[in-house]
């Protein structure tokens, strides 16, 4: 059964590079506007706290034409998992923006509400991108 989302707050953001749908995003601190995001790349321990989950993909060509990224900031979001994740697990981002089990010191992106059966399958998380660590 496909995951079901109940988006809370959803905002449009500028994108500084390609972003795949259903992946964690972080603020791009190199951008002067404070609103630009990029796909999370190993934000588990280092880097910026997780900001939310991309709702749709955006390519470099689309960015060049002014398309941004729709980011789910609160509520329940569907995320591509890096591995099997059980209900109740705290998740962070792997190097590709996918949900992965959080360990001590990792930025927490959410709590699994609908489990994933393995790598590259969807799970549903309750977003908790508030700058906390496991």
pLDDT in tens, 14-27: 999 999 999 999 99
Does residue 67 carry a pLDDT above 70?
yes
Mean pLDDT of 97-110: 92
Mean pLDDT of 117-123: 96
Entry pTM: 0.92
Q: Which helix (H) or strand (E) holds 109?
A: none
Q: What percent of the chain has pLDDT over 90?
A: 75
In this structure, whether the domain defined by 6-127 belongs to CATH 3.30.70.3280 is answered with: no
Asked if residue 96 lies in contact with residue 78, where contact means CB atoms within 8 angstroms, the answer is no
pLDDT attached to residue 104 = 85
For 20, 37, 43, 117, the CA distances from 74, given in Å and listed in that order, are 19, 16, 19, 24
Asked if residue 51 lies in contact with residue 26, where contact means CB atoms within 8 angstroms, the answer is yes
Counting beta carbons within 10 angstroms of the beta carbon of residue 46, is it exposed (0 to 12), middle (13 to 18) or buried (19 or more)?
A: exposed
What is the pLDDT confidence band of residue 85, given thresholds at 50, 70 and 90? very high
């Amino acid at each position: 059964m496909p995951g079901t989302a109940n988006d809370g707050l959803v905002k449009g953001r500028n994108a500084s590079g390609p972003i795949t749908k259903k992946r964690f995003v972080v603020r791009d601190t190199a951008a002067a506007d404070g609103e630009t995001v990029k796909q999370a790349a190993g934000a588990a321990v280092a880097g910026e706290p997780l900001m939310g989950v991309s709702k749709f993909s955006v390519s470099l060509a689309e960015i060049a034409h002014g398309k941004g990224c729709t980011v789910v900031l609160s509520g329940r979001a569907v995320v591509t998992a890096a591995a099997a994740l059980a209900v109740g697990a705290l998740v962070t981002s792997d190097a590709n923006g996918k949900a992965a089990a959080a360990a001590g010191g990792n930025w927490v992106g959410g709590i699994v509400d609908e489990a994933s059966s393995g790598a590259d399958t969807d799970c549903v998380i309750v977003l908790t991108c508030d700058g906390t660590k496991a």
